[in-house]
Structure formats: C-alpha cells, structure tokens
Chain A
C-alpha cells in the first residue's frame, strides 16, 4: 500500500501533464477502440445495465488523472495511518 499509493499519484500527475482534462474513456478508446465496447457489453448484458451507466461511465467521463489520483490518495493516506498506528 505504501508503494502503490505514491505510484498511482505519480501516474495521475503524468496523465495530467500528458493529456490534461481528456476523459479516461477517450484515452482508453485511443489505446484500444474495441475495449470499452466489450467492457460495456459484458457489464450491461451479464452483470447489471445500471452498473455501467451510473458507476463506470461517470469514471470514464472524468479526466483520466482523477481515478488514479483518488485511488492513490486514499492508499497513500491509509499507508501513512497504518505506519503511524
């Protein structure tokens, strides 16, 4: 946790510097145009349609750096608290 958190924060910084406010979805689409379609089909057809619309899509619509920044921040904080306690 101590290592993954800062790595994700560094990734977030890199994404911000490289792609600004481009949505995560747009970035993944550029990397592999068929990836999100497959992910959406699996999520909506075999799990739950709302899971895509209400949970995953908002993450994909947000700037690419936000997801690793939030996750990295939480993990870094947890690691710090654990080290102190």
Chain B
C-alpha cells in the first residue's frame, strides 16, 4: 500500500507562484544584468547622458572609491559633520533651475535638463584638495564653465563670477543659524572662470550628481581648496564687484577669496604640506596649485601682493 506522508516543507498546489510572474521576474533580472554590463547604458538609464572621458587631465592617482566620495561630505547647510549624506537626500533635485545673470548680454534661466542636453558633456578625473587636509580623486561629468559663459556673453565690464547655493530651509537644518550670511556664496575672477579647468559638474562616477555632492549642479576648480566649489547652484552672477564669500565673511583669516592650494602656506591651525587620501588613509605630499600649475600659474602673474594661498 502506497502511503503519502506530508513533509514539513511540502506546500499545497495553491501556493505555487503563477507562471507569468516567474518569467516576468527572470526578464527583469536579465535586463538588470544587461544594464550592469553596459556602463554607458546604465548612466543613460539614470538620466545622465553618456560622456567621453577627457584624458588631458589625468590625475596621476587612483580614483577614490565611489562609496567614500558619496558618504564623506562637507555641505554646511546640512551640518558641520561628514555624515550629512542621509540628511541631504531630502533635498529635491527636480525640478531645478539655475539663473545666469548680471553683467551679461543675454541673461538666461536654465532648467537642469536643458543644461544636460545643451552643454558639451565630458568626464574629467580631477583631484580635489580640501582645506581640511584630506583629498580625493573623482571622475566628474560636466562641462567647461566657459561653454556656459559663451551662451550668455559676458560684458567687457564683468570682472568676477559669483556662485550661489540654493537656500531650502525646509530641508537644510544649517539655515536655522540665521546669524550666518546665507546663501552660501563663492566666486572667482572672470579670468579664472574662463580657464579650461573650471568645470560645471552634473555627475560623478557616470551617474547624476547626488545631493550630498552638490547635485544637481556644482562648480569645481581643482587647483583651489574645495570650499571654493559652490554646490547645488541656483544663481551664477557676473559682476564688476569682488564678492565676499560665505566663509570669508565668517573667518576671513582662514578662508580667503583666492584659496589656491599651496603646501608651503599653512592654515592658521594646521599644516597644508600633506594630505590624507580618502579611502586609503595614505598621506601624500600636497602640490602647489594641487598639481595643476601648468594650467593656471599664469593667472596669477602680477598678483603677488594678493593673499593667493588661503
């Protein structure tokens, strides 16, 4: 006699997953595997148009792990500590507009999608040196600031470019400190802005720029200390007045207008001779102009009387 004995792991026929769901899941997994295999396709899926790497700016160092760059951040509107990435996720990056205004022939307001489609995107692997003596190497995606300026046509009287970060009190706890001179403002000369290294960043590691890294649009001049790079920009203004930046208003003796990297000029409270690489913790010598002297040293001819290094 054949006896059917139920085992604990036996399931009734009614518990079986329908065939359509099983095959749908397999198709979804196959699609996911295909996207992982094709980097550019994945980037396109994430909203960032594909961008070729510009090899002219080889950093001479290994790229920092993405996880380090996206979890160790300075963004004062979200706090003074390095783990602001979770809080920054509350910042909505769409819709997003940036005004380019002031001393230009054709002031404009761009939607971020408009910028992504209009501008000549490329990837550049730049070193970034923080004034706090740590450093990283990041594959940024973006476009030269000069390309944007060419569209708005600066007037000949424009001497400076000013960058302003968004002020979103509902998601930025730092703005509760009403005594600070918000919005976060930074600036550079029109000559520095026109330098080929000056880069408007919309992505990193082949993906759209994350909020904690200054998404959807930030600025980067790799020969200057990192605080000069305005994040989450909403206004770019051309002017004939030298701007007084956010940190300059608070602690001018520590954070000046020029802030070019120089290992021989210490910060008032620490040396700038070495930098700690994010991720590896390796300590390496800091280079003058963060190693970009061949591109930018000429900008400062005749400016020896300025405080160029802090």
Contact = CB atoms under 8 A, between A and B. Distances in A.
Given A34-B251, A53-B173, A29 B180 contact: yes
B79 A44 contact: yes
Nearest to A33: B250
Contact of B178 (A25, A34, A43): A25
A33 B180 CA distance: 9
A43 B177 CA distance: 15
Contacts of B83: 49
B80 A29 contact: no
Interface in A25-44: 25-26, 28-30, 33-34, 36-37, 40-41, 43-44
Contacts of A41: 80
Given A25-B177, A60-B177, A45 B251 contact: no
A40 B179 CA distance: 14
Given A34-B250, A34-B251, A37-B250, A29 B179 contact: yes
B176 A40 contact: no
B242 interface: no
A37 B176 contact: no
B80 A23 contact: no
A16 interface: no
Given A26-B178, A29-B179, A40 B80 contact: yes
B250 A23 contact: no
A49 B88 CA distance: 14
A74 interface: no
B81 interface: yes
A33 B254 CA distance: 12
Interface in A1-35: 23, 25-26, 28-30, 33-34
Contacts of A45: 80-82
B249 to A, nearest CB: 8
Interface string B199-212: 00000000000000
B270 to A, nearest CB: 13
Contacts of A36: 177, 179
A49 B176 contact: no
Contacts of B80: 37, 40-41, 43-45, 52
A26 to B, nearest CB: 4
A33 B173 CA distance: 19
Nearest to A28: B179
B233 to A, nearest CB: 22
Contacts of B173: 53, 57
Contacts of B180: 29
Contacts of B82: 45
Contacts of B81: 44-45, 49
A62 to B, nearest CB: 11
Interface in B126-164: none
Most buried by B among A26, A30, A37: A37
A41 B76 CA distance: 10
Interface of B: 79-83, 173, 176-180, 249-251, 254
9 contacts: A25-B179, A26-B178, A33-B251, A34-B251, A40-B79, A44-B81, A45-B81, A53-B173, A57-B176
Given A26-B178, A33-B250, 14 more contacts: A25-B179, A33-B251, A34-B251, A36-B179, A40-B79, A41-B80, A44-B80, A45-B82, A49-B81, A49-B83, A52-B79, A52-B80, A57-B177, A60-B177
